[in-house]
C-alpha cells in the first residue's frame, strides 16, 4: 500500500475490509460502501468518511445533549453528533470519522475501519444503554433495505 491514501485506495481499503463482515457488505454508486449491519464508508476527492447510526426518533433535550457531550469527551478520534430530522422529536444520533487523505496513515486507517466493522453492534448497544431513559428507536433496522438506510446515513454524516 502507498504511503498516502487517495479516493480510490480508500474505497478499495474499505471494501476489502467490509467483505469480511459476517453480516455481508454491498455498495451503491461508486462511492458508498456499507455493511448490512450499518457501517458505511464514503470516498470523496480529499477525504474518506466512516460512520454508523445509533438511535433515531430522539427528542432534543438537555439530557440528550449531556449524553452526546460525555460520549465526545471519551472519543480520541471521530465524533458523535445529532442529525436533525423532520421535527424536534426526530433527531438521530450518529458517530463518524473523517480521514483526510494527506493526513492519515493507511495502516492506522485500515485498523480503525476493521475495528469499527467488527465491533459496530457492541458500540451501538453501549451507547444506546446510555440513552436508556431517553425515548428513541434503533437507527439501523434489520428488516429495512440496507441500501436505503445507507443513503439516509450518508446524509446524516455529511
**The overall pTM is greater than 0.75:** yes
* pLDDT per position as a tens digit, 70-91: 999 988 888 999 999 878 789 9
pLDDT digits (tens, 9 = 90+) for 30-40: 789 999 999 99
In the chain, which ranges are continuous DSSP H helix?
Answer: 7-18, 62-74, 106-130, 146-157
pLDDT at 4 over 70: yes
**Domain range summary for the chain, segments of one domain joined by +:** 7-157
Residue 103: which pLDDT band, with cuts at 50, 70 and 90? very high
Determine the pLDDT at residue 88. Answer: 79
- Options 2.60.110.10, 3.30.1460.10, 3.40.50.300, 3.30.390.30; CATH for 7-157 is 3.30.1460.10
Cell of 141: 433496522
Does residue 66 have a pLDDT over 80? yes
Per-residue pLDDT band at 2 (split at 50, 70, 90): low
pLDDT at 1: 47
Amino acid at each position: 500500500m502507498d504511503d498516502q491514501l487517495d479516493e480510490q485506495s480508500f474505497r478499495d481499503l474499505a471494501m476489502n475490509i467490509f467483505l469480511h463482515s459476517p453480516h455481508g457488505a454491498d455498495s451503491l454508486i461508486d462511492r458508498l460502501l456499507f455493511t448490512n449491519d450499518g457501517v458505511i464508508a464514503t470516498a470523496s476527492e480529499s477525504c474518506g468518511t466512516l460512520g454508523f447510526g445509533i438511535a433515531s426518533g430522539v427528542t432534543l433535550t438537555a439530557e440528550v445533549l449531556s449524553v452526546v457531550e460525555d460520549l465526545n469527551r471519551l472519543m480520541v478520534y471521530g465524533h458523535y453528533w445529532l442529525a436533525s430530522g423532520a421535527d424536534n422529536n426526530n433527531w438521530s444520533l450518529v458517530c463518524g470519522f473523517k480521514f483526510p487523505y494527506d493526513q492519515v496513515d493507511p495502516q492506522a486507517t485500515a485498523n480503525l475501519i476493521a475495528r469499527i466493522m467488527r465491533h459496530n453492534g457492541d458500540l451501538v448497544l453501549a451507547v444506546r444503554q446510555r440513552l436508556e431513559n431517553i425515548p428513541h428507536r434503533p437507527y439501523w433496522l434489520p428488516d429495512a433495505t440496507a441500501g436505503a438506510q445507507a443513503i439516509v446515513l450518508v446524509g446524516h454524516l455529511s
